[in-house]
A = this chain, B = another copy of it.
């Protein structure tokens, strides 16, 4: 063995074991690639930069490369001489690929990216792989005193899962095309490749039907996508290498459909209407009525061709069958057809639906309730239920894979529950499940779900991003990429980059604060919004009736996000303090307390603004607590009176305010405990 070979071999081993953790401190790539090597080169970004595309060009890569040039110019301020990819010559960024991707479940998204001093080489099997490389490259842009440059690295990359999705619910709150497009841009920027479009529900039917026009006329409040708009969104997604999987949710979640066509409902004379509340409702298609299948057949004949993707999602979830139980004909039908339970009846329905879909070249996908003994294994099982629904974690996913179904995980990725990014990032689609190679291959990947009961076009971005970027990493990167602190560091940069793409998660926070404070948004209010988080799970909308679909969503909770920035930093510091209560950390804590001590005083000029009022008590006791803790740590002593006052304030602070929770309460309790133990002067 030659010496140089030995060195290469040793480097390779070192890279594999320590490489990622070292390099991921240095480069803010997300999702983190399969393999990154430093070349110690540096590609200067100046006006002469060009892109050349070698490969069968169907326009898609040209569009993405053009957008790349705009984004690069906008980020760096560099005036490029060439604003479009140049052809038939060697460019400074050279893109090579073999085929145009068909966006199937088998398509290849791998790429090799090589950033040299003079040239950047992208090599991929498909155009989509090359597009993924361009996103990585943009994340490598950096600057020093002499200007912008690309970091010199060699990257070999490919995804862990082929299905990396985001579901957007456009039914509960309609989301205009512009919202979808900016989110598709953002998805592509973190290499997501499936947009699951939840198009119908109790609260609205959002597709223009020419065959059944009453669907949008009576079932949408005028808020629906025209067929041309649907084609436009699908084309836009496809140009980003993103598949679009549509969902028409049946037989439950059907209030909007039945408002338009009550004759296929399960309860004659029922006052079907567009639902304004959130929750699970009774209106359900009648699976025993031939007209139901006629309706679905004609509707799907019209709708299915709008979506080139192989899969069509039929929902199939949360049907308690109440109206079925109340309908004698349906009960009789069950008896006659030996369908013992409502589940059996729904399977009967699903199987008929699967045949209709097949006729239009589509395979069926459905929420995991569809996984009943007679369901054909050609269906994809969309695993959503878990511990919250009385099942085990990832329960239906593993079962589905073992039973022979292809399957996609959403349990653990319900981003509408407003849980921390840390939580979602820690959910692995496979975890430690013991699977055969075949079973493993049936786990296609995951999908985050953005249900929109409490989400409007103004706020949806801040509910999806930046958490979605970390989930995208979970779906793309090797399983062992899971250091949370490192993820958080990279996520911060990605979050800013998302803003460049038009994502409104940062800027709309300020807009809401301005609106709710009658345009007196002040620093104290902003400070509170960086300490509070919207109530978790579904507690913000107790019983589904606190908010209607037309309620205001320009409230304090709408300005707050799942991971309150300052709370995150403060809680981290308190954890450090717990490990090692030294003076430097105490000084850090004190500087927070000093700041928060003034919150009440600073908020008071706007105390009379109606939507500020519910925050006054919070502000008052945050300031009070902060003053007490500051003086306790300053003097290393606390009197029993002060301790009692501190406890009383904490007791108030632990309550919800304006549908949010103060995300530092646990930390404050920890500190209170410490003070009682160490500083109490009787």
Q: Which residues of A come within 8 Å of B, CB atoms?
A: 63, 66, 69-70, 73-80, 83-84, 143-145, 147-148, 176-178, 221-222, 226, 228-229, 232, 276, 493, 496, 499-500, 504, 506-508, 510-511, 514-516, 518-519, 547-555, 608-611
Contacts and interface: CB of A to CB of B under 8 A. Distances in A.
19 contacts: A63-B222, A70-B550, A74-B515, A75-B515, A75-B554, A76-B552, A76-B610, A77-B516, A77-B555, A79-B547, A80-B550, A83-B550, A84-B550, A144-B608, A228-B228, A229-B232, A499-B511, A504-B507, A507-B510
Nearest to A507: B507
Contacts of A78: 552
A496 B516 contact: no
Contacts of A74: 515, 552-554
A537 to B, nearest CB: 22
Given A74-B552, A499-B515, 14 more contacts: A74-B553, A75-B515, A75-B554, A76-B552, A77-B610, A79-B548, A79-B551, A83-B276, A84-B550, A144-B608, A493-B519, A499-B514, A500-B515, A507-B508
Contacts of A496: 514, 519
Given A499-B514, A511-B499, A610-B148, A73 B228 contact: no
A547 B81 CA distance: 10
Contacts of A228: 226, 228-229
A551 B73 contact: yes
A563 B504 CA distance: 25
Contacts of A148: 610
Contact of A552 (B73, B507, B610): B73
A174 to B, nearest CB: 12
A552 B516 CA distance: 34
A431 to B, nearest CB: 35
Contacts of A77: 516, 552, 554-555, 610-611
Given A74-B515, A76-B610, A609-B143, A69 B232 contact: no
A547 B519 CA distance: 36
A145 B514 contact: no
A483 to B, nearest CB: 23
B608 A145 contact: yes
A217 to B, nearest CB: 11
Nearest to A504: B507
B226 A83 contact: no
